Structures are given as structure tokens and as C-alpha cells.
Amino acid sequence: MSSFLLDSRSNNTNKTYFFSFNRWSTFIKEHGFNNLPADPIHVALYITNLIDKNCSPNVINGAIYSLKWVHELNGFADPTDSSFVKSLQESAKRLNGKHVNKKDPVSIDMINELCTKFKDYNDLLIVRDLAMIVLSFAGFLRFDELSSLKCKDVTLYDEFLKLFISHRKTDQYRQGNEILIAKGKTIACPVSIFKNYINLAELNLNSDFYIFRPIFRHKCIAKLIYKNKKISYTAARENILKRLKLVAPSLNLGLHSLRTGGATAAASSEVNERCIKRHGRWKSDTSKDGYIADTLEKRLSVSQSLGL
């Protein structure tokens, strides 16, 4: 039963909660009190200590949720169900919350310009980076979804390719999801670029190997490492941003700029909103809207429609 109870949360959530609870345990035992069951006033003092240390609201939320979770699993009263704790949680948002600096979206013109710049290159490193860029843009992919793609997760057709996303952030029950990416008509066609990458990397689409792996060079020839290890976030970010900065040097870019840019381009083309939400694996309209940057024309159309 214990293992089933733990399975009520994802492995990553369990790890986060255990880490936060151990942090609480270290704090309270140093002061000579019990960590379980916890006294609500001790929890309030612990949250006060975290606020004094300028911990982010995410850290404080993690501490509260982990305490609530552990106490519920052990059949104890929830010490976070206290007016003190709830008020301190709101206080942390006001005092320690930071302004979210969202990344700028990448546009289709930037993608086309970048692909044109490297159209005559057959270096595996460059082609791999371009494949990651166009797939992330066209599929609204998060980095974790992109890096976790395995050869067997891709099915190639003449007019489109199908990606099977086995794990994603909003898929709590790991049911998976399929993404269809159509063949394009420009030099930035994601299907053509991906096929070129598959051929250069000599990948077998029936294998269990990760598609995007680190690359090494041997006698000036770039090859994927033989070990089945997916590319790291740091390496992917460094390589992708290096390419994007060639066509957008002044923008504030990140890996999420590709997901945001793809969703923005689809919304600007009047694509059905339900299809956009499904394509981006968003559970709610609120989540989807946070990724779409309205164009200047659309923003101006609000006041223009007033007939002043």
C-alpha cells in the first residue's frame, strides 16, 4: 500500500517533497522539536525563517505542500491548515516574488533566415541544431519533450511526420500524446530538415536510441556519441541560442522562445484555438494564452473597433 500511496504523485514530485521535508526536519531538530507531527506554530516560524532568507515563493510553497503531503500520508492533522501559515504564504508572494521576465518569441522569418544561412551545410552539428529548432517551433515542444524523443517515437510519412510524446508536463497519468507536423513549402520545412538529420546521423527509426544526443568530432567528422544519452539542457541551450542570435541578436531568447513563437505564429494565422491547445498539450486556455504574444495590429484593433 505504501508504494501505491507514493504513486499518487509523479516521481519528480515525490523527490521534491522529500527534499523539502528533509530541509524542514533539519531545521526543527536543530531547535529540539519533532518534525512529525509538526506543531503549526513551529511551521509558521519555519516559513518566517525562509522569508527572512529571501527564499522564493516556489521554495516556500514546496515546504508547505511537502509538510501537508507527509502529514496526510501518515494520518496526522495538517499543520499547514493554519491562518498563520496561509498568511505567511501570501506574504512571501508579495515580499519575495520576482517579476517574470518572459522570453521573446521567435518568428517564422527568423527561422527561414537561419535555415537559408545554413542551406549548403552538411555538418551534423549544424543540421542537428536546425532540426531541434524547427521541430520545437513547429511542434510547440518543451525542451524535455524534445530531448526525450527516441527514434521509435517518430513515424515518417510523405506529407508529415508524427511524434509520440511519451512523457510531458501536463500528462499526469503518462498516457502519451501524438503531434502531427506537416511538410512545409519553404527552406525551413521541418520534415525535410528532420529527414536530412536522420540520414546524416544514420539513425534507425526502429531503435530505442535518443534522437538528439551529444556530438563528438573525429578527424573533422561530426558524429553522435554511441552511448544512448540524451542531450543536456545546457548543451542544447548553448547551441540553439548561438544559432538564433545570428538572426536575432537583440532579442531576449531562450529555449521557450521556440514554443512561444510557434504558438504565436499559429494564432496570427487564425488557426482554430482548440487545435492550438491540443497541438501544444495545454490543459487550459489560460495556459495557452500565456504563450501567445499578440501582434501590434491585433492589440491596436481593440481600440480601433470602438469607432472613435
Inform me whether the pLDDT recorded for 125 exceeds 90. Answer: yes
What's residue 176's pLDDT? 56
Segment 38-69, tens digit of pLDDT: 999 999 999 999 999 999 999 999 999 999 99
The torsion angles phi and psi of 115, rounded to 5 degrees, stand at -65, -35
For the chain, what percent of residues have pLDDT higher than 90?
70
Segment 81-100, tens digit of pLDDT: 999 999 999 999 988 877 77
Residue 306 within any structural domain of the chain: no
What's residue 140's pLDDT? 93
- Please tell me the distance from the alpha carbon of residue 307 to that of residue 290, in angstroms, as a whole number: 29
Segment 14-31, tens digit of pLDDT: 899 999 999 999 999 999
Question: Which pLDDT band holds residue 282 (cuts at 50, 70, 90)?
Answer: confident
What's residue 168's pLDDT? 57
Residue 103 within any structural domain of the chain: no
Calculate the average pLDDT of the chain.
90
Number of domains in the chain: 2
Angle value at C-alpha 241, between 105 and 190, nearest 5 degrees: 70
Inform me whether the pLDDT recorded for 203 exceeds 90. Answer: yes
Residue 303 within any structural domain of the chain: no
Q: What is the DSSP letter of 207?
A: S
Give the pLDDT mean for 222-229. Answer: 94
Inform me whether the pLDDT recorded for 246 exceeds 90. Answer: yes
Residue 44 within any structural domain of the chain: yes
Residue-number span of the structural domain to which 171 is assigned:
108-294
Does 144 lie in the same domain as 285? yes
Segment 150-175, tens digit of pLDDT: 999 999 998 999 999 886 555 543 54
Question: Burial code of 126-146, b = ≥16 C-beta within 10 A, e = fewer?
Answer: bbbbbbbbbbbbbbbbbbebb
Does 116 lie in the same domain as 64? no
Domain end (from 31, 62, 96): 96
- Please tell me the distance from the alpha carbon of residue 260 to that of residue 142, in angstroms, as a whole number: 10
Question: Which pLDDT band holds residue 227 (cuts at 50, 70, 90)?
Answer: very high
Domain end (from 96, 126, 153): 96
What's residue 268's pLDDT? 86
Segment 211-220, tens digit of pLDDT: 999 999 888 8
Residue 299 within any structural domain of the chain: no
Least confident stretch, 113-122, 160-169, 179-188 = 160-169
What's residue 164's pLDDT? 92
Give the pLDDT mean for 121-130. Answer: 94
Q: Supply the pTM of this predicted model.
A: 0.77
Contact 148, 172 (CB under 8 A): no
